[in-house]
Structure 1
Amino acid sequence: MSIYLSYGIILALIGRCWVLSATDIDQIQRHNIKLLSEQLNRGWRAFCDAPVDEGVMSLFQGIHPSDGRLHVMTITNQSVELPVRSLSQLKDFDINTERKTLIYVNAFHTNDSYFSVQEHLILLQTSRRDLNVIVVDFARNVEQLYYAVRHHLSVHGYFIYKLLNSLTDAGIKPEDITLAGHSVGANIAALGAQLYAKGSKQLVNQLIAIDPATMCRTSDILVKQGLATRVVVIHGEGDVYGVRVPLGNVDIYPNGVGFFPRRKLQPGCESKICSHMYPFVLFMEALIEGVMIPATKCESWAKFRLADCNFKNTLNIGLVYPADAKGLYFCLTQPNPPFTYMEHGLRYKSRQEANSLDKTSV
């Protein structure tokens, strides 16, 4: 794009703003947000193609990559929010080289509800002081989510790469780092891991991708083996939001959803977006509450239903996985917390049996 064309676009936008009143602009922005929220419920394709007015959206704070936020902990157990450009300040916070480090990448907008991502992540930081927990928040609202999937994926991935460099320069070992992310955040985390591996010739220990988003373009599905020493994928929806196919060294399919096409919704869910959020809540329950959510290795959901699995090869959803874990893993979970059936979730039950167990589980 030539400098003259760019200058012309800027002048056109300024000229338009002179014609539109402040009330008009606010009304257009409200329509943008309403439209994006409605289209998100239909899936990524509809969301990415939503006919929003980007010219007006660009006038509001929150859509630029630098508007993302870092959440780090002080030594007095307080979560502090910093602009993403404040990487140099990380050394002033409670980052201990003797601990394992979890970098969680959020790039999925949720309303304040039971599934509120931000509330869960702050609780994770304050409860797991045995870890260095750094939260990178690229999408606290629907506008940021839109720009993340449409325009900013590569910039966000580059920031994760810079964050990894800053931590390793400060003495954190790559083998002590886990990158995790849900939905769009899983793909951003994957890109950051890829750039770090290419630039440093080292791999971080783990990439945990929670129902990686199918995105606007299939080329933006970036989760794959080889980006970390171990890549774990926890699937959740597998239809319009999450990727169905196995992508990692370990792929976990709670309740078979995302693997078996006829199973569309997770327990307790009435929408696909709820099913997309469900594995995030499983992951948070495991990390925050210390709840064991076991899964067993099996060739397929059909084999799992027949109990034709290797029940000696099991793992728990969380941060620690057996060194020999590889392949597909399945389990059953509940519609409400605590979500785990414990060891009972390793064997398939009919709906009637599962309902009966729901009433007796504690």
Structure 2
Amino acid sequence: MLRVAFHLFHMLKLFLFILLTCWVRSDTEQKCEEFTDLSIHNALAGTDLKVKLLLYTRTNQNCSESLSEYNTTASTYLDVTKKTVFVVHGFRLTGSTPIWLNDIKELLLSLEDVNLIIVDWNRGATTIIYPNAVHNSRGVAEILKKYIDQMLAVGASLDSIYMIGVSLGAHIAGFVGEMYNGKLGRITGLDPAGPLFSGKPPSERLDHTDAQFVDVIHTDMDVFGYRKPLGNIDFYPNGGEDQPGCPQTPFSGSQFVKCDHQRSVLLFLSSLRGSCNITTYPCDSYLDYKNGKCANCEAFQPMPCPVLGYFADKWKNYLIQKDPLETKAYFDTSGQEPFCMYYYFVDFITWNKSIRRGFIRIKITDNAGNTTESKMNSEATTFQQYRQASIFVGFYEDFDKISRISLTYSTRTLIGPKYKLRILRMRLRSITNPARLQMCRYDFVLLENIETTFKPIPCQERDK
């Protein structure tokens, strides 16, 4: 009998040990707070506002710490002596977790040792009634203000606070910045929301006065995004409307709706990856940029042309002293990662007695036989005798060694005679890499709609 009791006693101890272990493991797992993942059912029912602040650092990169808006001293990982980056998402029609969330976390922390705070207001942003989410955005800003106040109380600096806001989140960042009279270090707006914000005064949307430096990327200004400039510098990739690689018909499903709007985030992520620095060109309009009127970066010396994304603040000191303070910058992209374009001027001097107008398609081929074609469709070029005409073009690939150039001249008319374009000199010069050898070709004829291919030679000294 005693022996049976002894075994029962040990079995009870083992059971309690297993129970305790499971309880500890469960408790540990609960500390790794996750972004609130909801569904379309929540959107249909509507959600009340609830904000979670999820802190990631290089020490807890894979396990967020949930912060309290009332007590920063309770945090294990927050270091207020470092830069703090807040990432604020926008309206969530289906309640799902943003697909870019993990990428922005990993890339930011790999690039810089910061406090990264994901602002999870999915409860409040998830609804089919967009005005309700707009209304909740003010509440999110007030909660962020309370937490930042706590950070300031224990030694943080407004200079070191950087807010990245996506869509509706961009205006939330602006509201917070306004509460601090524009003393936040920086705000980046990724395609700030347009509906219910267009035409509003600065106090009711993101504005360049909301931080020491405000940069904005516009990718869907004709549907979900904001059209007019909002920052110290506003970037308009591909003109700010339709983005290459995005579906053109509703048959593509949800991507048809959100692809352009979401491209702003993907372009920002590309700047964090550093695959290529996307150069942009300050200009009055997209048409002027396309026609090559703004491609001279020497005008900004000693500054280079601004780059897109995370490192745009290198232009901060120049931009905040400009009058007016707002600068628009344009550029084109490819349709997929890393979205880079490589820019050239192709200069022509012709000797036709009569004026010619038309388009020239340009292809370049490297020594390995790889070929890339110009993708930017500018207006028709006017060719006058002995006057230089320059065409601004972009390619998806950049070749260090160019073995062949192919040109096709066209007036794009369906009827009438075919024309010749008599070229005295053609010159290809890189804008992306201005130190690269300029390539020329002399004295040849282009027949309309017939591709002409030739081997270029280094330009003569007088032609550079």
* TM-score where L is the length of structure 2: 0.56
Residue number in structure 2 paired with 1:357: 395
How do residues 159-198 of structure 1 correspond to structure 2 at under 5 angstroms?
A: 159-197=143-181
Whole-Å Cα distance in 2 between the matches of residues 208 and 196 of structure 1?
16
User: Relative to 1, partners in 2 of residues 1:73 and 1:350: Cα closer, same or farther, differing over 3 Å?
Assistant: farther
Whether 1:324 aligns to 2:318 is yes
Task: Return the offset for 1:126.
Answer: 4.0
Whole-Å Cα distance in 2 between the matches of residues 104 and 346 of structure 1?
36
Whole-Å Cα distance in 2 between the matches of residues 132 and 288 of structure 1?
19
Residue number in structure 2 paired with 1:267: 244
User: Relative to 1, partners in 2 of residues 1:114 and 1:296: Cα closer, same or farther, differing over 3 Å?
Assistant: farther
Whole-Å Cα distance in 2 between the matches of residues 238 and 340 of structure 1?
21
Residue number in structure 2 paired with 1:295: 280
Q: Which moved more, 1:118-127 or 1:227-236?
A: 118-127
Aligned pair partner of 2:193 in 205, 213, 217: 213
Residue identity in the other structure for 1:276: H
More helix by share: 1
CA-to-aligned-CA distance 1:240-261 (integer Å, 9 cap, x gap) = 2000111211111111124xxx
8 A contact 2:39–2:95 mirrored in 1: no
Whole-Å Cα distance in 1 between the matches of residues 165 and 344 of structure 2?
25
Residue identity in the other structure for 1:295: T
User: Relative to 1, partners in 2 of residues 1:347 and 1:65: Cα closer, same or farther, differing over 3 Å?
Assistant: farther
8 A contact 2:57–2:114 mirrored in 1: no
* C-alpha RMSD of matched pairs (Å): 3.6
Q: Secondary structure at the match of 1:328?
A: strand
How do residues 134-149 of structure 1 correspond to structure 2 at under 5 angstroms?
A: 134-139=117-122, 142-143=126-127, 146=130, 149=133
Task: Return the offset for 1:275.
Answer: 0.6
User: Relative to 1, partners in 2 of residues 1:196 and 1:178: Cα closer, same or farther, differing over 3 Å?
Assistant: same
Whole-Å Cα distance in 2 between the matches of residues 274 and 120 of structure 1?
17
User: Relative to 1, partners in 2 of residues 1:275 and 1:187: Cα closer, same or farther, differing over 3 Å?
Assistant: same
Residue number in structure 1 paired with 2:335: 335
Q: Which moved more, 1:269-278 or 1:162-171?
A: 162-171
Residue identity in the other structure for 1:143: T
**Higher-RCO chain (CA-CA 8 Å, sequence separation at least 6):** 1
Q: Which moved more, 1:99-108 or 1:212-221?
A: 212-221
CA-to-aligned-CA distance 1:312-353 (integer Å, 9 cap, x gap) = 341112332311135111111121111223xx2587997951
The number of residues matched between the two structures is: 296
Q: Could you say which structure has the larger radius of gyration?
A: 2
Residue number in structure 2 paired with 1:241: 224
Task: Return the offset for 1:121.
Answer: 3.0
Residue number in structure 1 paired with 2:297: 311
Residue number in structure 2 paired with 1:282: 267
CA-to-aligned-CA distance 1:101-147 (integer Å, 9 cap, x gap) = 22111124387999713222332354234222222122387439957
User: Relative to 1, partners in 2 of residues 1:346 and 1:143: Cα closer, same or farther, differing over 3 Å?
Assistant: farther
8 A contact 2:69–2:147 mirrored in 1: no
More strand by share: 2
Task: Return the offset for 1:203.
Answer: 0.6
How do residues 225-236 of structure 1 correspond to structure 2 at under 5 angstroms?
A: 225-236=208-219
8 A contact 1:297–1:329 mirrored in 2: yes
8 A contact 2:94–2:127 mirrored in 1: no
Whole-Å Cα distance in 1 between the matches of residues 112 and 132 of structure 2?
30
Whether 1:222 aligns to 2:260 is no
* TM-score where L is the length of structure 1: 0.70
Whole-Å Cα distance in 2 between the matches of residues 138 and 130 of structure 1?
25
User: Relative to 1, partners in 2 of residues 1:181 and 1:329: Cα closer, same or farther, differing over 3 Å?
Assistant: same
Task: Return the offset for 1:99.
Answer: 3.0
Q: Which moved more, 1:158-167 or 1:225-234?
A: 158-167
User: Relative to 1, partners in 2 of residues 1:235 and 1:347: Cα closer, same or farther, differing over 3 Å?
Assistant: farther
Whole-Å Cα distance in 2 between the matches of residues 32 and 110 of structure 1?
10
Q: Which structure 1 segments of 5+ residues have no match?
A: 1-28, 37-51, 259-264
Whole-Å Cα distance in 2 between the matches of residues 70 and 224 of structure 1?
24
% identical equivalent positions:
23
User: Relative to 1, partners in 2 of residues 1:257 and 1:150: Cα closer, same or farther, differing over 3 Å?
Assistant: closer
Residue identity in the other structure for 1:321: K
Q: Secondary structure at the match of 2:207?
A: coil
Whole-Å Cα distance in 2 between the matches of residues 187 and 31 of structure 1?
24
8 A contact 2:333–2:339 mirrored in 1: yes
Task: Return the offset for 1:89.
Answer: 4.4
Aligned pair partner of 2:142 in 136, 158, 163: 158
CA-to-aligned-CA distance 1:202-253 (integer Å, 9 cap, x gap) = 6112111111001345449511121111221111110120001112111111
Whole-Å Cα distance in 1 between the matches of residues 234 and 118 of structure 2?
24
Residue number in structure 2 paired with 1:21: none
CA-to-aligned-CA distance 1:276-334 (integer Å, 9 cap, x gap) = 11011111121244641221211111110111114234111233231113511111112
